[in-house]
Chain A
Amino acid sequence: MADSTWVVASKRVEPRWRLRAFLRRLRSGDEIAHLTTLIFALTILLITFLLVSELWINSTLARQRFGWHFLFTRTWDPVFENFGALPFIFGTTVTSTLALLMAIPLGVGAAIFLAELAPPRISDALTFFIELLAAVPSVIYGLLGIFVVVPILRTTVMPFLKDTLGFLPLFQGHIYGFSLFAAGTVLAIMIIPFIISISREVLLAVPGEQREAALALGATKWESTWKVVVPYARVGIMGSVFLALARALGETMAVTMVIGNDTKIASSLFAPGNTIAAVIANEFTEATSDLYVHALVELGLVLFLLTIILNALARLLILATTRRGTAHV
């Protein structure tokens, strides 16, 4: 090696190098792996697109026939083929609202206990069991609904409410047992675990410095929790409520089994009713005409859109809390 200097080319020619590199990667299988997994990932996009388009296409007859009036019409008459979604929107709204009213205090209260006040071991153990509740299938809640909840409501709770609050139209009328009230109750039982689980996580995500600041000023545990931690996590807790609501809207089986399946808009909670999900479940296989089926699919489309919007909102709220504080929202 007697050379004193050598010349080195410092510029590679781009296109040929790129091609060679690509071929090398291809041989080593990386590109194939990338492509294969990509295809499967794209399949998800395809399926979702297909879902939306099928819902759209298979509700065409109903959409064209009824237009926007569909959402405001009270009649649901398969015989004369006049379909309106209002009774079901009403039923869905009432049962979900009732469920939320019952579940939020209980759920947020339990979450506060589990996140802030309970000793960590007890908190973990209880949370473990409460989260198992979220895994119980809907039809089992329905089973218990029919044979346990409805009888209890019919014999004890509803007469009590009628006696004490009967001056309100909400609590008047004949007590069948199977009613909007029963559905709301069962729904409440079903969504409590979600509210607890997510609210608890949101509360735990509040930085320790916040609690310590309050405690250092002489606050009791409760004061620190209620006046500092919970407000900080307020938005996230709202998010958990939205998520629970989204779930309640889509709940089919337990609701169908206890709501009475009556397509009317009543003023009393004791009256039977119907929800969007329940009517689809009950009438789909008996839909005799194409328009009937399309009307049911349109109901499904409405439900779909509702839950998508709610879920998106919920996720935004929860994200806002767990990333940074919510003191300014």
Chain B
Amino acid sequence: METWQNSSVLEPEVKVMSETQKARVPGEEVEPRFRVSNLNFYYGSAQALYEVSLNIPPSRITALIGPSGCGKTTFLRVLNRMYETVRHTRLEGDVLLDNRNILDLDVTQLRRRVGMVFQKSNPFPKSIFDNVAYGLRINGWSRGVTLAEAVEHSLQRAALWEEVKDKLHKSAYALSGGQQQRLCIARALAVDPEVLLLDEPCSALDPIATAKIEELLFNLKSQCTIVIVTHNMQQAARIADHTGFFLLGRLIEFNRSEVIFKTPARKETEDYITGRFG
């Protein structure tokens, strides 16, 4: 038995993870980006997540699927501590980013490392340039590069540069819905996050815009760990390496996508996949 000790522990209460519980990422030998163990989450007195344990593999796309209200967005928002913007929320259990508990990290540092793209695009009422530059101005950027170069780089990664390079100082609201969402992705990428969380980013977009975003996520994953919550199973099947299925606040099953979609181990998963309930 190996004991993992943290300096702030004065009263260790030992919890042991069994082999099967740990092996949620079969076939993967690398250090997971996020290690979540026995996560319980509460909105006031109502419990939203029950004993969720999950490892997010690095440099891959992990999709979280499940019917409305199953807790997948709640789970996503735990990962960058966005739940703290709401009162009366409570978290139990451990969430480790690179083996450090996220509650021990400075929250603004955490959020720089773990970026988020929201369901409805939310560009700031500023110019396109200032939107992307926002995170850089707050967090600083690498010395060798000018701000303009950093902004351009982000916009390139988000596959938006060609479309906006001539109008960087126009308002972000002049862009279409799909472009605004890619702008939000560029904005999130500007601070070079290790993980990018996306909460149903394409739900308000048409198929063409969706395809553009899916393609850019696919190209991004080598540089960035991606966790995407989606309502769209086909999307998960298309782009995700791993998929987790949530139901009523519990993680029912987590595995490589081909396993989840072709040969799910649990009946609930199978029912959801085959559309027996929405």
Write the residues of chain A forming the contact surface with B, with a CB cutoff of 8 angstroms.
Answer: 1, 3-13, 16-17, 20, 24, 28
Whether B19 pairs with A13 at a CB distance below 8 angstroms is no
- Interchain CA distance A305-B80 in the complex, whole Å: 52
Whether A17 pairs with B19 at a CB distance below 8 angstroms is no
The number of chain B residues with a CB under 8 A from chain A is 30
Q: Name which residue of chain B comes closest to A25, CB basis.
A: B107
- Interchain CA distance A1-B28 in the complex, whole Å: 12
Pick the interface stretch among B7-15, B64-72, B193-201.
B7-15
Whether A8 pairs with B37 at a CB distance below 8 angstroms is yes
Add 7 more A-B contacts to A5-B1, A7-B16, A10-B93 (CB < 8 A): A9-B15, A10-B38, A10-B94, A13-B8, A20-B104, A24-B106, A28-B108
For the complex formed, measure the closest distance between the CB of B230 and the CB atoms of chain A, giving whole angstroms. 30
Residue among A7, A10, A28 making CB contact with B2, cutoff 8 Å:
A7
- Chain A residues with CB under 8 Å of B37's CB are 8
- Interchain CA distance A6-B93 in the complex, whole Å: 15
- Chain B residues with CB under 8 Å of A5's CB are 1-2, 16-19, 22
- Interchain CA distance A10-B40 in the complex, whole Å: 11
- Interchain CA distance A1-B31 in the complex, whole Å: 8
Q: A3-B2, A17-B8, A24-B106 are in contact. Are A9 and B13 (CB under 8 A)?
A: yes
- Interchain CA distance A8-B37 in the complex, whole Å: 9
Q: Name which residue of chain B comes closest to A13, CB basis.
A: B10
9 residue pairs bridging A and B, Cβ less than 8 Å apart: A5-B2, A8-B37, A8-B94, A9-B12, A9-B14, A10-B13, A10-B15, A10-B92, A16-B8
- Chain A residues with CB under 8 Å of B11's CB are 11, 13
Whether A12 pairs with B8 at a CB distance below 8 angstroms is yes
Nearest first, the 6 closest Cβ-Cβ pairs linking A and B are A9-B9, A11-B13, A9-B12, A7-B3, A3-B2, A10-B15
- Interchain CA distance A20-B105 in the complex, whole Å: 10
- Chain B residues with CB under 8 Å of A12's CB are 8, 103
For the complex formed, measure the closest distance between the CB of A286 and the CB atoms of chain B, giving whole angstroms. 56
Whether B108 pairs with A7 at a CB distance below 8 angstroms is no
- Interchain CA distance A13-B13 in the complex, whole Å: 11
For the complex formed, measure the closest distance between the CB of A30 and the CB atoms of chain B, giving whole angstroms. 10
- Interchain CA distance A133-B259 in the complex, whole Å: 72
Q: Name which residue of chain B comes closest to A28, CB basis.
A: B108
For the complex formed, measure the closest distance between the CB of A27 and the CB atoms of chain B, giving whole angstroms. 8
- Interchain CA distance A8-B17 in the complex, whole Å: 8
Most B Cβ at <10 Å: residue of A1, A4, A9: A9
The SS class assigned to the B binding surface is loop
Q: Name which residue of chain B comes closest to A10, CB basis.
A: B15
- Chain B residues with CB under 8 Å of A3's CB are 2
- Interchain CA distance A138-B11 in the complex, whole Å: 71
For the complex formed, measure the closest distance between the CB of A34 and the CB atoms of chain B, giving whole angstroms. 14
Asked if B146 is at the interface of the complex by the 8 Å CB criterion, the answer is: no
Q: A1-B31, A13-B9 are in contact. Are A8 and B4 (CB under 8 A)?
A: yes
- Interchain CA distance A20-B93 in the complex, whole Å: 19
Most B Cβ at <10 Å: residue of A1, A4, A16, A28: A4
- Interchain CA distance A169-B188 in the complex, whole Å: 80
For the complex formed, measure the closest distance between the CB of A294 and the CB atoms of chain B, giving whole angstroms. 49
- Chain B residues with CB under 8 Å of A4's CB are 19, 22
Asked if B45 is at the interface of the complex by the 8 Å CB criterion, the answer is: no
- Chain A residues with CB under 8 Å of B22's CB are 4-5
For the complex formed, measure the closest distance between the CB of B50 and the CB atoms of chain A, giving whole angstroms. 15
For the complex formed, measure the closest distance between the CB of B98 and the CB atoms of chain A, giving whole angstroms. 13
For the complex formed, measure the closest distance between the CB of B56 and the CB atoms of chain A, giving whole angstroms. 16
Residue among B8, B14, B38 making CB contact with A7, cutoff 8 Å:
B14
Whether B4 pairs with A7 at a CB distance below 8 angstroms is yes
- Interchain CA distance A236-B274 in the complex, whole Å: 56
- Interchain CA distance A10-B22 in the complex, whole Å: 16
- Interchain CA distance A12-B13 in the complex, whole Å: 9
- Chain A residues with CB under 8 Å of B85's CB are none
Residue among A1, A9, A28 making CB contact with B6, cutoff 8 Å:
A9
- Interchain CA distance A8-B22 in the complex, whole Å: 12
- Interchain CA distance A9-B92 in the complex, whole Å: 12
- Chain A residues with CB under 8 Å of B19's CB are 4-5
For the complex formed, measure the closest distance between the CB of A254 and the CB atoms of chain B, giving whole angstroms. 43
- Interchain CA distance A28-B139 in the complex, whole Å: 12
Q: Name which residue of chain A comes closest to B29, CB basis.
A: A1
- Interchain CA distance A6-B21 in the complex, whole Å: 11
Whether B38 pairs with A6 at a CB distance below 8 angstroms is no
For the complex formed, measure the closest distance between the CB of A240 and the CB atoms of chain B, giving whole angstroms. 36
- Interchain CA distance A82-B15 in the complex, whole Å: 85
- Chain B residues with CB under 8 Å of A8's CB are 4, 15, 17, 37, 94
For the complex formed, measure the closest distance between the CB of B34 and the CB atoms of chain A, giving whole angstroms. 14
- Chain B residues with CB under 8 Å of A7's CB are 1-4, 12, 14-16
Contact with A along B12-53 (1 / 0, CB 8 A): 111111110010000001010000011000000000000000
- Interchain CA distance A12-B108 in the complex, whole Å: 21
- Chain A residues with CB under 8 Å of B17's CB are 5-6, 8
- Interchain CA distance A11-B14 in the complex, whole Å: 9
Q: Name which residue of chain B comes closest to A3, CB basis.
A: B2
Q: Name which residue of chain A comes closest to B19, CB basis.
A: A4
For the complex formed, measure the closest distance between the CB of A283 and the CB atoms of chain B, giving whole angstroms. 54
For the complex formed, measure the closest distance between the CB of A47 and the CB atoms of chain B, giving whole angstroms. 29
- Chain A residues with CB under 8 Å of B104's CB are 20
- Interchain CA distance A20-B103 in the complex, whole Å: 11
- Chain B residues with CB under 8 Å of A10's CB are 13, 15, 38, 92-94
- Interchain CA distance A24-B106 in the complex, whole Å: 7
- Chain A residues with CB under 8 Å of B29's CB are 1
Q: Name which residue of chain A comes closest to B6, CB basis.
A: A9
For the complex formed, measure the closest distance between the CB of A75 and the CB atoms of chain B, giving whole angstroms. 60
